[in-house]
Amino acid sequence: MRKLRFAAALLPEGVVEDVTIGIGGDGLIGTIAAGQGDDGAEREAGLALPGIPNLHSHAHQRAMAGLAERSGNSADSFWTWRQTMYRFLERMGPEEFQAVAAQLYLEMLQAGYTSLAEFHYLHRDPAGAPYGDPAEMSRRIFAAARETGIALTHLPVLYAASGFGGAPLGPGQKRFAMDAEGALALLAALEPECDRLRRLGLAPHSLRAAPPEQLAAALNGLKPGQPVHIHIAEQVKEVEDCLAWSGKRPVEWLLDTHRIDARWCLVHATHLSENERARLAASGAVAGLCPTTEANLGDGFFAAADYLAQGGVFGIGSDSHISVSPVEELRWLEYGERLRRQGRALLAGGPDRSTGRALLDGALTGGARALAQPVGRLARGSRADLIVLDTEHPLLAGRRGEALIDSWIFAGNRNPVRHVMVGGDWVIRDGHHEAEERIGARFRQAMRRLTE
Ligand SMILES: [Zn+2]
């Protein structure tokens, strides 16, 4: 067993100094010992933290981050942003897609994300025809994950309608078309891509895009343990349309219609009634929060303090990749509440507690659940997905214990993530990935083709 001795590590009981972690050949943590010293161990300065799962990604959107910031007409909104994305997609083929995804996954690793859930709906070619291999674009996601070493829960999207009531897909949506039968066939075709770091689940895009009979058929065909993610209640208009269609709000409809449990991740869930919030919190499902994207798109605030007080579980995602930083997602989750409620340390979970630690612990627990992967804890039996913060970085100098985490989350605009390990293998050392120049050059070429 390989042994690593860290100056400090965040264990389930808190930040502990002088921790030796033993990692088996299977990439799982086999032993943890504190304060005992081990001369045979590799020594690592700095603070080891569990690597952070990123529970919501649309890789292709990384290519257009920052390109939808010009003011439009007075009705500029989420819906006009979506039109910009559709135009961009007309040029993106498999090569460009993999180039963008690999660059993104590299950036995620450098920022401290060690695993992600890819909510993948770019199934068809730009004309809307299936690729010769219908799994072509999904395979590019797996390839990008393997190139970079990041762990993946790949979620092919069910996308069969353009609105409540089964309205047909619009011209900009032809690339996304996927019914329940197709989605289950795609999952079966992708089984050989899975390994100890990479798994499968399903993502019904939204209640707009997944009509009830399609949703039920897809869920019936899933294997036990495969997670289910869905966009829900992101925008007020979606809530209004769902009420007009069914007489119920989206989360209410879902909770009344399906058995929603820890297998589910409800992405955004921004606009909830008090009753929906309490029921969601009690369900064990994960609220998939993406604060920087939700801010960028003008979605609204998630009532995080109320939800956490009810025992709700959350994780974070970078979604549109307007920001690829767990620090910024966690910070804005807290800042949204501070600005709304005019208070401080609102998500710390009680008096005299570290807000950064509470936010990080929440994102680790919920993220691991949403990805259905054995990560998020430095503990026996968990996979060795971890990051090491440089405690000599000016940002962290003179800090100890949870103050290191608070300083990282609230002041960490320069990145102190020094090393990153996934499944027992170092993928980032001293901030660098061994393939970063090749991946970066290919990305720049792809971006020229996409934007010229
Ligand atoms: Zn999304």
Q: What is the pLDDT of residues 225-278, one digit of tens each?
A: 999 999 999 999 999 999 999 999 999 999 999 999 999 999 999 999 999 999
Dist. CA 94 → ligand 1 center (Å):
20
Q: Which helix (H) or strand (E) holds 113?
A: strand 113-120
Q: Which residue has the tokens 């998939």?
A: 288
CB atoms within 10 A of CB 96: 20
* CA–CA dist 411, 380 (Å, integer): 31
- Domain spanning 52-371, CATH architecture: Alpha-Beta Barrel (3.20)
Dist. CA 257 → ligand 1 center (Å):
22
Dist. CA 361 → ligand 1 center (Å):
23
Q: Residues near 90 by Cβ (< 8 Å), separated by ≥ 6?
A: 126
pLDDT bin (cut points 50, 70, 90) of residue 38 is confident
- For residue 75, the model assigns a pLDDT of 63
201-213 confidence digits (pLDDT tens): 999 999 999 999 9
In the predicted structure, residue 325 carries a pLDDT above the cut 70:
yes
Dist. CA 265 → ligand 1 center (Å):
12
CB atoms within 10 A of CB 168: 10
As given in the structure block, the two tokens for residue 373 are: 């992967």
- Torsion, CA 154, CA 324, CA 123, CA 137, rounded to 10: -70
Distances (CA, A) of 13 to 10, 139, 218, 418: 8, 39, 40, 23
Which of the residues are catalytic? Answer: 268, 319
Closest to 254 in 3D by CA, of 230, 237, 235, 224: 230
Delimit the domains of the chain by residue range: 2-50+377-434, 52-371
Dist. CA 204 → ligand 1 center (Å):
11
In the predicted structure, residue 69 carries a pLDDT above the cut 90:
no
* CA–CA dist 58, 321 (Å, integer): 8
Dist. CA 295 → ligand 1 center (Å):
13
Dist. CA 290 → ligand 1 center (Å):
9
As given in the structure block, the two tokens for residue 101 are: 């995804």
345-380 confidence digits (pLDDT tens): 999 999 999 999 999 999 999 999 999 999 999 999
* CA–CA dist 265, 244 (Å, integer): 24
Dist. CA 332 → ligand 1 center (Å):
17
Could you tell me the CATH superfamily of domain 2-50+377-434?
A: Urease, subunit C, domain 1 (2.30.40.10)
- For residue 77, the model assigns a pLDDT of 62
- For residue 177, the model assigns a pLDDT of 97
In the predicted structure, residue 35 carries a pLDDT above the cut 90:
no
How many CA atoms lie less than 13 Å away from 305 in the CB half-sphere?
Answer: 18
Dist. CA 33 → ligand 1 center (Å):
40
384-434 confidence digits (pLDDT tens): 999 999 999 999 999 999 999 999 999 989 999 999 999 999 999 999 999
